[in-house]
Structure 1
Amino acid sequence: MKNFNTLLLITLMSSFCLTAQNSDTKKADKHFDRYEFVKAVDDYNKLVEKGKADSYVYGQLAESYYNIFNTVEAERWYAKALETSNDPEMVFKYSQMLKANGKYEASNNQMDKFTTMRPADNRATAYRANPDYLPKILDQGKKFNLQNADYNSEQSDFGGIMNNGNLYITSGRNDSRKNYGWNDQPFLDIYTVAKNSDGSSQEAVLANNKINTKYHEGLVSFSPDGKTMYFSRESYFEKRLPKRFSEQCKI
């Protein structure tokens, strides 16, 4: 009897997976599984337009928008998916998108639901301890004015660090690179920004070609003496990993 129940459970789970992922979603699911979320969005939206969408497609569409930081569309499709689903993680992310879009009361309503579903979750515990923290912060008023620096681009620029008078940043501005499937923006490279005598910044230039590859590099740090650079890189040289886990090059 126990074996029969186990077999029945496996069969039911398999049936659920088949109703979720099918021939219609195969192309979109492939993009999603490869973290090509921009392409996944296009293909899941086509299923919606053709009337072939269900809660699975709505959820995948919401997740794709979530991963490319389109909070408005992510909110929309999480709401649609949750009409026929009760997944706690989806409820949590829906709450986050509502909050990102300034809908604090609605966000708290979803967090109340999430804490009921997963009371022992650390996120639920933190929420119960201070559910209205964000409005309290906003009530304090604006404390800073943000503006782009001379060397900023329209793409992602982040991770700035100074070394020997030069600023090192990570940027996705290199249009000669192929686009990264996750966000359809160029792969990240490391750039240097020198200072002029009047304190203004020069144009950002690519760091040493031995540092940048056709894939991602970024998040630079230096040793205390400034002579050794450390940075993360996508496994472009993965065939070398069993023998050597890092490559050294002259800066």
Structure 2
Amino acid sequence: MMRKLYILFVFCSVTTLFAQKKASVKDGNALFQTRSYVKAAAIYEQLPATKEILQNLGDCYYYNFQMSNAVKAYTQLFTTFKDSVQKEVYFRFANAMKGTKNLEKGDSIMKIYLGYEQNTQKFMKSASRNSKDSYKLEMMSKGQNNGDFGISFYGDKVAFSSARNGQGKSYGWNDKPYLDLFSATVNEQGQLVNVETFPDEINSKNHESSATFTADGKTMYFNRTADKQIKVGEEVVANIKIFKAELKGGKWSNVTMVPFSSDTYSVEHPCLSKDGKQLFFASDMPGTYGSFDIYVVDINEDGTYSLPRNLGDKINTPHREQFPFVTSDGTLYFASDGHQGGGNLDVFSSKKISDTEYDKPVNLGSTINGEMDDFNYILDEAKNQGYFASNREGDDHLYTFVKEPNKLQYLVEGEVRDKKTMELLPGSTVKLYDQNGTLLEEVLVGKDGDFTFNTEPNKKYKIMAFKDFYIPAESEFETSQSGKVYLDLQMKVESYYDAEDIINKKEDGTVLIELENIYFDLDKWDIKPQAATVLDVLVGLLKKYPYMEIQIGSHTDSRATASYNLKLSNKRAASALEYLVKNGIDRKRLSSVGYGETKPLVVCPKNDCTEEEHAINRRCTFMILK
């Protein structure tokens, strides 16, 4: 589609001269400047990999949405010449990466371009969840690669652009036949049937595309490339114009160019408002925010037009906004690669606020938008279905869609983070409970630190996040009657060692509750008053944190035999455990182990410890397990 009708269709008069002599940079650049990207790429592939050649080669593939080849060229460019690459190339490189489904790498490159981080996967999940609709898709011309796009409603038929005639000359952009306009009916299976070409009054030797019709079908606006090429900067192009035609006596006639078309810039993708009083289109005319913007003109009763009005910076960005479509309530649908999306062109919608203002555009989500170009969205509001175009299969294809209620709206999503550092905590467990406290579902958080649950409308829920050595966090919420719930829950869990001074994390990763030592009489394991006082502190801590689990360890000095000391330490550890149970602590949260003399804090030469050193080795430890 010539890069989504950047379309700037090119009339390339390149002969076989270049094939008859050794490839040169001059030859490649001459082709590149006329946007003969296929032939230019073939020459660049034969030449030494300079900065200019690698950038142009990457662009040749990028503009023909051959993203794997584009990534290869751009990667070599950035590896060798990163410090001197133009900023705009970062944008194309990032989208080429996304086009190959390498979203993480694409985001890292886009961060350099934008100056701030993007998380495409997370954004598209959010966009999909928040969209009130999801889309069921069906390709309309299976098994064919005709470059179909530019679909519009044409009475009880559709009109669309295609290279399916396959005759005559091809254009240099992608070496495919020139585009013509066709009409067709759509059968119950969503397939294009009874395909017919528009007459020669409409289809010429040039490109025709993107038709739009008045409600009575008697007036038609469409795109046609200019008859002559002009030099714009370093490029030689034939720009795109909008033409108007009238149906009289069953024939299209009075084909005239609209006055706001020009040889020096393109106006493309015309779309009439439902009442026929406004014509929306895309253009790169002077005054855009960059590349192509969406414009509108008023159609006066006498057939004249107002001056084009740019729809403003809520709609338009420094990149491409194209393929406008307007519903009866004024909602604008359009394609953009400037607003955040899945990569390359995505379809967005924007509510009309006033005659001159639109709301912030909303991405339609991943059931219709993918990593490649998705565009040319049109909607039959009465049937809740429509059509759009995409090159997700490698070439432009038309798709029919049916809008369905978005079940993803019943999702709740969030992240688990450390309360102090705000770092994500992969490996956390998150549980969903109903209002009666019944566990409904639990998930183990992955490397992205996020979680998702299905919920139902008009119900109350509680979510709890668990992580070893952390205090569980919880959040309660209620879904609406419609079921929509957007909860960006940041479950901030605090570590025990951040919350309590007596809890410390050791270098080896163990987390200990540091209490006064518990002393036992010689050869005894019963809990004395001093030991009970210490254990009462532990009881209070365990009641404060009801999900904490600990291990009680008992150690002896090295006097007596090893087997005797092991048995004695096991009895002392078990005795401490029983004290905790008698004071209300669930046995399931406790374990005990005797280490005997195997883990002394003080190792004495020749096992000749002082009384003070023996006392240090006789101790109880309290290690947090969860």
When normalised by structure 2's length, the TM-score is 0.31
1:68 to 64, 76, 80: 64
Higher strand share: 2
Q: Which position in structure 2 is the counterpart of 1:158?
A: 149
Cα gap change, 1:151/1:133 in structure 2, threshold over 3 Å: closer, same or farther?
Answer: closer
Shift of 1:162: 2.2
Q: Which position in structure 1 is the counterpart of 2:35?
A: 35
Structure 1: distance between partners of 2:109 and 2:228? 44
Q: SS at the partner of 2:221?
A: strand
Deviates more, 1:193-202 or 1:173-182: 193-202
Structure 2: distance between partners of 1:102 and 1:34? 30
Cα gap change, 1:198/1:106 in structure 2, threshold over 3 Å: closer, same or farther?
Answer: closer
Q: How does 1:62-211 map to 2 (within 5 A)?
A: 62-83=58-79, 84-85=81-82, 86-116=85-115, 128=117, 131-138=118-125, 143-150=134-141, 153-194=144-185, 201-211=192-202
Shift of 1:233: 0.4
Structure 1: distance between partners of 2:67 and 2:191? 35
Structure 1: distance between partners of 2:191 and 2:104? 44
> In 1, are the aligned partners of 2:221 and 2:245 still within 8 Å (CA)?
no
> In 2, are the aligned partners of 1:213 and 1:236 still within 8 Å (CA)?
no
Larger RCO (CA within 8 A; separation ≥ 6) = 1
Structure 1: distance between partners of 2:189 and 2:99? 39
Structure 1: distance between partners of 2:189 and 2:139? 18
Shift of 1:187: 0.6
> In 2, are the aligned partners of 1:41 and 1:61 still within 8 Å (CA)?
yes
Deviates more, 1:90-99 or 1:197-206: 197-206
Shift of 1:198: 10
Cα gap change, 1:109/1:198 in structure 2, threshold over 3 Å: closer, same or farther?
Answer: closer
Structure 2: distance between partners of 1:208 and 1:89? 42
Structure 1: distance between partners of 2:96 and 2:217? 41
Q: Which position in structure 2 is the counterpart of 1:18?
A: none
Name stretches of at least 5 consecutive residues in structure 2 with no aligned partner.
1-22, 230-241, 253-626
Q: SS at the partner of 1:191?
A: strand
Cα gap change, 1:197/1:74 in structure 2, threshold over 3 Å: closer, same or farther?
Answer: closer
Q: SS at the partner of 2:138?
A: coil
Cα gap change, 1:112/1:248 in structure 2, threshold over 3 Å: closer, same or farther?
Answer: closer
Higher helix share: 1
Query: What is the aligned residue count?
Result: 207
Question: Rg larger in 1 or in 2?
Answer: 2
Cα gap change, 1:135/1:186 in structure 2, threshold over 3 Å: closer, same or farther?
Answer: farther
Deviation string for 1:27-48 (max 9, x for gaps)? 010110011000001000111x
> In 1, are the aligned partners of 2:224 and 2:243 still within 8 Å (CA)?
no
Code of the residue aligned with 2:95 in structure 1: it is Q
> In 1, are the aligned partners of 2:140 and 2:190 still within 8 Å (CA)?
no
Q: How does 1:240-251 map to 2 (within 5 A)?
A: 246=243, 248=245, 250-251=251-252
Deviation string for 1:11-67 (max 9, x for gaps)? xxxxxxxxxxxx9301010110011000001000111xxxx2311111110011111
Shift of 1:81: 1.0
Structure 1: distance between partners of 2:112 and 2:188? 57
Code of the residue aligned with 1:106 in structure 2: it is K
Sequence identity, in percent? Answer: 26
Shift of 1:225: 2.5
Cα gap change, 1:219/1:114 in structure 2, threshold over 3 Å: closer, same or farther?
Answer: same
What's the RMSD between the two structures over aligned residues? 3.0
When normalised by structure 1's length, the TM-score is 0.72
